[in-house]
C-alpha cells in the first residue's frame, strides 16, 4: 500500500510525474505455454483494477483497450514476432484527487524459451501530491512464486536468503561483486553466536516481502558475517546485528564505505520517521531506499519497451496485415482513422508524461548539484580550519607529539584516519595492498606517509625554496627517492594499473616513492600517489610493492 507522508506541489504546466519503482526479472516455468500462464496471472490482477470484466480479446492475448464509463482505463498490445505483450493500467488514487498510479507491464519470449518480465510503476498528479511510501505491485509476488524467477541472474525465493555456510558466503560475495547487478543487496546480520533469522533486529520477512523482485534480502549468521569480513575487509562488512545496504557496482578498491550505508543496532532502535519509531521505522526506510534504487538506472526501456511503443508497432503491423489481405479502401481508411486517433491521444499523453518526468529529473539534477557544491564548500571550510589548528599546534613549543609507529600494517587504515586526515588520503586499494604486503620494514611505510603529510603537502600548498629543501632532506633521511611512476609511452600498455577512482573521477598515480631495486617484494618498497589540486591533499593509490610495467 502507498502511504502518504508529506506534501509536495507539482511545478510548471506539466503534471508532477515520478517513476516509483521498476522490476525486471527472468522467468522460467515448466508449463509448455509459460508465456500465456504468466500473462493470465497478470490479467487476474488487471481485472481487479479495471472495475469491469475484461473483454475476450484480453484473455486471448490480443490488443484491447477498456475505457468505458465506470471502468478504469486498461489497455494491452501484443506482437507475434518478436513475441511480446504489454499492458497498462491507470488506477485513480483513493486518497488524493487528480493523482493516478500508472502500472506498465511487459512480457517477452526469448528464443531459448525463457521469459523476460518487467513492471514499472509511475505516479502522475495534477493537484496535491503528498509524499508516499514507494512500493512494487502486489502481483509481483505471484509471478515470483509461480515458478523460477531470477533477479540479477540469481534465483530468488518467496522466503529470505539465509547465508550460513562457506558456499553461501562465497555466493553472497560473488553477488556483491557482480558488475551487472542492478538491485540493492540488503544484508541483515545476526549476533555473534546466532543463526536464527527470527533473532534479527528487524523483521526480515517483512522487508523481503515488500522488496520482492526489487532487491536481494539476505540474513547473515554470526559465523557467515565474520567470513565475509575476511573477503571484503572490516570497513565493508556487516556483523553484530547491524544492517548494511550494498549498492550496485560494489568495488572495495574504489568505493568509499559510506556509499554502502551501514546502520548499527543502537541507531536502528532509535530510528524515527513520521511518528514511527525503532525497527518498524527503519524497515520503512530500508524498503524505500531499496525500491528507489530500482529507478536510478534508465535502461529498462531498452530491454522491455514501454506500452506506448508496443501499441504503436502493433498498430502498424495490423495495418500492414490488412493491406496484404486485400481489405477494401473503406476498411483501410477506417483502420487508419482509428489508429491515428489513438496515436494522437497517446502522443499527447506521452508528451505530458515525459514532460513531467523531464521537469522532475531537472529539479533532482539541480538539487543534487547544489548539495555537491554545498558539501565541497563545507569540506573546504573544514580543511581550512584543520590547517589553522595544525599551524597553531606546531607554533606552541613542546605540544607536538609524533604519532606512534606500529609494528605491522594490519591497522593502517585506523592509523591513517587518526593521523593523516586532511592531508593524505589512502584509497581502499592502497589499504588492501598494505594488508597483502610482506615488506620487511613496515615502519618505513608509516614514515613515508608522515613525510607526505609533514613535508610534501606543505610544499605543494605553500611552495617556497625552504619547504622544498626540507622535503628533499626528509626524503634522504628515509632513504627514499621520488620520481614519476611510469612513462607516457608505457602508460597505455598497463590498462588501469596506474589509475584509481577518486571523487567520481579516474586519476593517474603519476608519482611514487622508491627504495631498493630488488624484484622481491620483501626487499623493495614503492608508494604510488598523486596530488589532488582541488582538495590540496595527497591521494595514495598503492603500496608497498611494484605496480606492473612492461619489464615486470
Annotate 245-297 with DSSP letters as a single string. EE-SS--TTT--GGGS-EE-HHHHHT-EETTEEHHHHHHHHHHHHHHHHTTS-
| Mean confidence (pLDDT) of the chain | 83
Where residue 359 falls (left for φ over 0; alpha for ψ -120 to 50; beta otherwise) is alpha
Is pLDDT above 70 for 237? yes
pLDDT in the model for residue 184: 96
Sign of the alpha-carbon torsion through 40, 46, 51, 54: negative
pLDDT above 70 for 55: yes
- pLDDT of 6 reads 39
Identify the residue with better confidence: 329 or 273: 273
Domain spans of the chain, in order of start: 16-147+299-362, 154-293, 412-544
- Give the three cell numbers for residue 456: 610534501
CA atoms within 13 A on the CB side of 237: 20
Whether residue 162 is predicted with pLDDT greater than 90 in this model: the reply is: yes
**pLDDT in the model for residue 341:** 59
Contact yes or no for 247/260 (Cβ under 8 A): yes
Pairing of strands 481-484, 84-92: unpaired
pLDDT greater than 50 at residue 406: yes
pTM: 0.75
Phi, psi of 133 (to 5 degrees): -85, 115
Question: Binning pLDDT at 50, 70 and 90, where does residue 114 land?
Answer: confident
Place of cell 634522504: 476
Task: Tell me what pLDDT residue 58 has.
Answer: 93
Query: Where does the pLDDT of residue 220 fall: very low under 50, low under 70, confident under 90, or very high at 90 and above?
Result: very high
According to CATH, the topology of domain 154-293 is: Glutaredoxin (3.40.30)
Q: Cα–Cα distance between 171 and 409 in angstroms, integer? A: 29
pLDDT, residue 98, reads 87
DSSP 3-state of 233: coil
> Where does the pLDDT of residue 398 fall: very low under 50, low under 70, confident under 90, or very high at 90 and above?
low
Give the pLDDT confidence of 136-158 residue by residue, as tens digits. Answer: 998 999 899 888 999 999 999 88
Enumerate the H helices of 463-500 as residue ranges. Answer: 465-478, 488-491
More confident residue, 254 or 397: 254
* pLDDT value of residue 488: 60
Average pLDDT over residues 70-90: 87
Does residue 191 carry a pLDDT above 90? Answer: yes
Beta strands in 265-409 (DSSP E): 272-273, 276-277
Q: Dig out the grid coordinates for 399 from the structure.
A: 605540544
Residue 354 pLDDT exceeds 70: no
Average pLDDT over residues 160-180: 95
Q: What percent of the chain has pLDDT over 70?
A: 77
Amino acid at each position: 500500500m502507498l502511504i502518504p507522508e508529506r506534501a509536495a506541489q507539482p511545478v510548471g504546466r506539466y503534471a508532477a510525474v515520478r517513476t516509483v519503482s521498476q522490476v525486471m526479472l527472468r522467468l522460467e516455468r515448466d508449463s509448455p505455454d509459460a508465456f500465456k500462464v504468466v500473462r493470465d496471472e497478470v490479467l487476474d490482477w488487471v481485472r481487479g483494477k479495471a472495475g469491469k470484466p475484461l473483454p475476450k480479446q484480453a484473455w486471448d492475448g490480443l490488443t484491447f483497450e477498456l475505457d468505458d464509463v465506470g471502468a478504469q482505463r486498461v489497455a494491452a498490445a501484443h506482437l507475434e514476432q518478436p513475441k511480446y505483450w504489454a499492458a497498462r493500467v491507470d488506477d485513480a488514487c483513493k486518497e488524493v484527487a487528480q493523482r493516478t498510479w500508472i502500472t506498465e507491464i511487459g512480457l517477452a519470449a526469448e528464443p531459448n524459451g525463457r521469459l523476460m518480465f518487467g513492471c514499472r510503476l509511475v505516479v502522475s498528479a495534477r493537484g496535491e501530491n503528498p509524499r508516499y511510501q514507494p512500493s512494487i505491485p502486489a502481483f509481483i509476488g505471484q509471478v515470483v512464486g509461480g515458478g523460477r524467477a531470477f533477479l540479477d541472474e540469481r534465483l530468488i525465493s518467496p522466503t529470505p536468503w539465509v547465508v550460513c555456510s562457506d558456499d553461501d558466503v562465497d555466493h553472497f560475495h560473488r553477488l556483491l561483486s557482480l558488475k551487472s547487478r542492478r538491485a540493492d543487496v540488503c544484508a541483515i546480520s545476526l549476533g555473534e553466536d546466532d543463526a536464527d533469522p527470527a533473532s534479527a533486529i528487524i523483521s526480515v520477512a517483512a522487508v523481503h516481502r515488500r522488496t520482492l523482485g526489487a532487491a536481494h534480502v539476505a540474513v547473515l549468521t554470526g559465523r557467515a558475517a565474520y567470513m565475509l569480513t575476511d573477503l571484503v575487509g572490516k570497513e565493508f562488512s556487516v556483523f553484530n546485528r547491524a544492517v548494511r545496504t550494498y549498492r550496485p557496482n560494489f568495488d572495495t578498491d574504489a568505493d568509499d564505505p559510506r556509499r554502502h550505508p551501514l546502520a548499527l543496532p543502537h541507531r536502528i532502535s532509535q530510528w524515527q520517521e513520521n511518528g514511527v519509531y525503532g525497527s518498524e521505522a527503519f524497515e520503512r526506510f530500508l524498503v524505500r531506499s531499496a525500491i528507489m534504487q530500482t529507478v536510478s538506472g534508465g535502461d529498462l526501456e531498452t530491454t522491455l519497451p514501454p506500452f506506448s511503443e508496443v501499441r504503436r508497432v502493433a498498430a502498424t503491423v495490423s495495418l500492414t496485415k490488412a493491406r496484404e489481405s486485400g481489405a477494401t479502401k473503406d476498411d483501410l481508411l477506417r483502420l487508419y482513422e482509428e489508429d491515428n486517433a489513438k496515436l494522437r491521444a497517446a502522443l499527447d499523453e506521452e508528451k505530458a508524461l515525459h514532460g513531467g518526468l523531464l521537469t522532475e529529473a531537472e529539479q533532482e539534477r539541480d538539487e543534487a548539484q547544489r548539495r555537491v557544491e554545498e558539501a565541497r564548500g563545507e569540506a573546504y571550510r573544514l580543511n581550512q580550519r584543520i590547517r589553522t589548528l595544525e599551524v597553531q599546534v606546531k607554533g606552541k613549543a613542546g605540544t607536538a607529539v609524533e604519532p606512534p609507529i606500529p609494528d605491522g600494517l594490519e591497522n593502517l587504515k585506523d592509523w591513517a584516519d587518526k593521523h593523516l586526515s586532511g592531508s593524505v588520503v589512502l584509497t581502499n586499494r592502497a589499504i588492501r595492498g598494505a594488508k597483502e604486503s610482506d615488506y620487511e620494514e613496515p615502519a618505513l611505510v608509516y614514515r613515508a606517509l608522515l613525510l607526505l603529510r609533514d613535508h610534501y603537502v606543505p610544499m605543494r600548498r605553500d611552495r617556497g625554496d625552504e619547504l622544498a629543501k626540507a622535503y628533499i632532506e626528509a626524503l634522504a633521511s628515509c632513504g627514499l627517492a621520488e620520481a614519476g611512476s611510469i612513462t607516457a609511452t608505457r602508460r597505455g600498455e598497463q590498462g588501469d594499473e596506474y589509475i584509481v577512482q577518486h571523487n567520481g573521477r579516474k586519476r593517474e598515480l603519476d608519482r611514487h616513492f622508491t627504495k631498493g631495486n630488488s624484484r622481491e617484494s620483501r626487499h623493495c618498497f614503492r608508494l604510488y600517489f598523486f596530488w589532488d589540486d582541488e582538495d590540496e591533499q595527497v591521494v595514495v593509490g598503492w603500496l608497498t610493492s611494484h605496480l606492473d610495467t612492461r619489464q615486470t
